[in-house]
Structure 1
């Protein structure tokens, strides 16, 4: 395996490890810190930029490997069609080896490119999920505080209603006291008038007796 295909294999292995880390069932706090670091770190941004350039070269290798595979496959089909002719075993072995290497290179570069797309999409899906969970937590907290505010508002209304009832009861009590005082005054005035009436009536009777 040549050096660039060896590097492609190492890149594919790194992508597989990264994918396993992304889909691993990590706690929410750790996953949030990890993705925050990956999105905000300048070093990670530079590494991502370098990986984009490397994937361009991998795409070129994929196109070259695909072209070689088609050419070797055509040579293999041509060799099979000439079975009636005397063929060399070493030639057949060489064609089979070239076909195997061409297919291996196509699969290697193709899976590397495909996994890069899967990683990118998975990364942004998980990032959107984290943002959605944050928004949900904020809305839930706001809903809880809103419910508390509504509860306090209800309590305020109830307190105001109770104060109003207390004021009405105090006003009724004052009115009752006024009526009680008026009744007492009326009773005293009635007693005074009755006493005067009795006095006058008694004096009239005594005058009649004298006459």
Structure 2
């Protein structure tokens, strides 16, 4: 296997592992930080460009392997079928095997790239919808509601004491005005 296809195989293994992590049924408390860690590198423009170039090269390798498979198939058709186990036929068959292997390797890598991107976007959208639903839900985060209730009670008490002080001041003023009359 040449270095190109070893690199493609490495990409494939990485994509399979990322897809497996995304597909695991994890709770939102674990999944949300995990997705944020996974998305952080892909927000960089340099990394995005490198990934696009890498996928372009994988696509070129795929087209090359399809072309090579086609030429090997033509060679196999040209080999004398009477010598079923001749060395030239076995050599062409082995080249056909390698061409098919390379085609499937690059093809599944390209396909899995699009599957991982789509799955990642779906998981991110799911987490955003869960957050939105929990925020609008009436039983969302009771501790936050309790804190808000305590703040509102303190504010209400301060307003009541200010109002009572204002009422006392106005009563004293009214008594003073009544004495003048």
The two structures have a TM-score, normalised by structure 2, of 0.70
CA distance in 1, matches of 2:73, 2:96: 6
Q: Which blocks of at least 5 consecutive residues in structure 2 are unaligned?
A: 146-181
Residue number in structure 2 paired with 1:100: 97
Q: How does 1:48-59 map to 2 (within 5 A)?
A: 48-59=48-59
CA distance in 1, matches of 2:94, 2:24: 39
CA contact (8 A) 2:42 2:48 kept: no
Residue by residue, what CA displacement relative to the aligned partner does 1:152-205 show, whole Å, maximum 9, x if unpaired? xxxxxxxxxxxxxxxxxxxxxxxxxxxxxxxxxxxxxxxxxxxxxxxxxxxxxx
CA distance in 2, matches of 1:123, 1:68: 34
Residue number in structure 1 paired with 2:81: 83
More off after superposition, 11-20 vs 29-38: 29-38
More off after superposition, 131-140 vs 45-54: 45-54
More off after superposition, 34-43 vs 115-124: 34-43
Residue number in structure 2 paired with 1:111: 108
Structure of greater relative contact order (alpha carbons < 8 Å, 6+ residues apart):
2
More off after superposition, 130-139 vs 31-40: 31-40
> What SS does the aligned partner of 1:62 have?
helix
The alpha-carbon deviation at position 30 of structure 1 amounts to 1.4
**1:128 and 2:163 equivalent?**
no
State which of 137, 140, 147 in structure 1 corresponds to 2:137.
140
Q: Which blocks of at least 5 consecutive residues in structure 1 are unaligned?
A: 149-211
Structure with bigger helix share is 1
The alpha-carbon deviation at position 41 of structure 1 amounts to 5.0
RMSD of aligned residue pairs (Cα, Å): 2.7
CA contact (8 A) 1:38 1:44 kept: no
CA contact (8 A) 2:69 2:99 kept: yes
More off after superposition, 3-12 vs 88-97: 88-97
Residue number in structure 2 paired with 1:26: 26
CA distance in 1, matches of 2:42, 2:5: 29
> What SS does the aligned partner of 1:10 have?
helix
More off after superposition, 30-39 vs 130-139: 30-39
CA distance in 1, matches of 2:111, 2:87: 36
Look at both structures and tell me which one has the larger radius of gyration over its CA atoms.
1
The two structures have a TM-score, normalised by structure 1, of 0.60
